[in-house]
Amino acid sequence: MAMTRILMVCLGNICRSPLAHGILESKLSDELFYVDSAGTSNYHIGEQPDRRSIAVARQHGIDISHQAGRQFNINDFDTFDIIYAMDQSNYNNIIKLARNQKDIVKVQKILDVDTNFANKDVPDPYYGDMGDFEHVYTLLDAVCQKIVKELTS
């Protein structure tokens, strides 16, 4: 059976998408699913996730400390089946790189997966505090649960 490949994308690839990556990976079989993350910017290439993302994930039993920042590139449209953007700005930046309709239809804003979310952007916690990171974790955990349901039902 073919692997399903899922990419989580934010701006820096140090706060939100590493959490989304770690959370979704923890809920799926690694024999059937490959999960990765990337940033639209080149700001944090090779860096470990933000220490606050590492801490909030660890509080929930997930280790993301081994992840390293990388920049989204057009090859990702070929590698991945589904590309989840954390917010509208990330979505727009990914779509700017799309080569055709096939690329475009792979990209979704992650919170659009669940109609219960009134706010469709995962807020950027970079300039926030631990409470903001905890809020992002809660949002991403809920939406990843929904994604898993869809992928495995």
Q: Which residues bind ligand 4NP (CB under 6 A)?
A: 10-16, 39, 43, 124, 126
Name which of 69 and 82 has its Cβ closer to ligand 4NP. Answer: 69
Say whether 16 is catalytic: yes
Say whether 144 is catalytic: no
b/e for 24-43, b at 16 or more Cβ within 10 A? bbbbbeeeebbbbbbbbbee
The catalytically annotated residue of 15, 16, 52, 144 is 16
Nearest distance, CB of residue 14 and ligand 4NP, angstroms: 4
- Containing 34, the helix (H) or strand (E) segment is strand 33-39
Give the count of beta carbons closer than 10 Å to the beta carbon of residue 147: 23
Say whether 5 is catalytic: no
Name which of 11 and 143 has its Cβ closer to ligand 4NP. Answer: 11
Give 124's DSSP letter. Answer: -
Which of the residues are catalytic?
A: 10, 16, 124
